[in-house]
Amino acid sequence: MPFLTAETTDERDSLATFAQQQIDQIATALHRLDREQLAQIPSASEMSLGALARHVLLISERAEESFYAAPDAPPAPASTLDQLMAEGTISSEALREKDTADSLIEQLQQAGAGLAAAIREVDLETRGPVPDQPWFEGRTTWSLRWYALHLIEENARHAGHADILRESIDGKTAYELNALAAGEGWPPAGW
């Protein structure tokens, strides 16, 4: 069953592989959902799996751009950050009319691959500007290594959210979803 992160060869490969795997796990949580289930809000928050997927896509796209930005680029203007935060809020409005589980899975897989490629290509020692947001208080620059680890942490948190939301919708867990997404039967022999 394809659940564990693939073997890696070095630090850069490890960071890239783990970053991609966390996004792929979020995509796996969408497997076989219909539109109504994508929009369902099964907890006290406004978070649906579709809105969570949209949030991760936005953050991943911005992260990939940040990896490729010039090291001395200024932080994004506050108005741009405010707009991004409004767009990136995990609320029911984030899910778009045209979104389907399959379209979001494909976009998430592309985002994970793009982010992994960016991590593999940059100098991890390069320092970049930190967005002017309260949760980054006290930092003015960060190394791309730290940023890659932060993205893994952030997307791992969201993968956990996705697991809980999916289990609340139909009882399917990450192990089962990984097997089904890989075309394997469930449960595996010996379980």
- pLDDT for residue 132: 75
135, burial (CB in 10 Å: exposed 0-12, middle 13-18, buried 19+)? exposed
Which residues 6+ apart lie within 8 Å of 91 measured at CB? 46, 47, 51
Decide: 174 and 28 in contact? Cβ < 8 Å: yes
pTM above 0.85, yes or no: yes
φ, ψ of residue 10 to 5 degrees: the values are -155, -175
- pLDDT for residue 88: 52
pLDDT digits (tens, 9 = 90+) for 119-133: 999 999 998 878 777
Separation of alpha carbons 120 and 14, rounded Å: 9
Residue 105's SS3 state is helix
* 151: nearest Cα among 102, 112, 108: 112
Per-residue pLDDT tens listing for the chain (191 residues) = 456 788 999 999 999 999 999 999 999 999 999 999 999 999 988 899 999 999 999 999 888 888 877 565 555 554 444 454 445 567 777 889 999 999 999 999 999 999 999 999 999 999 887 877 787 888 888 899 999 999 999 999 999 999 999 999 999 999 999 999 999 989 888 88
Angle between helices 101-121 and 11-28 (to 10 degrees): 170
Q: Which two tokens stand for residue 102?
A: 């399959």
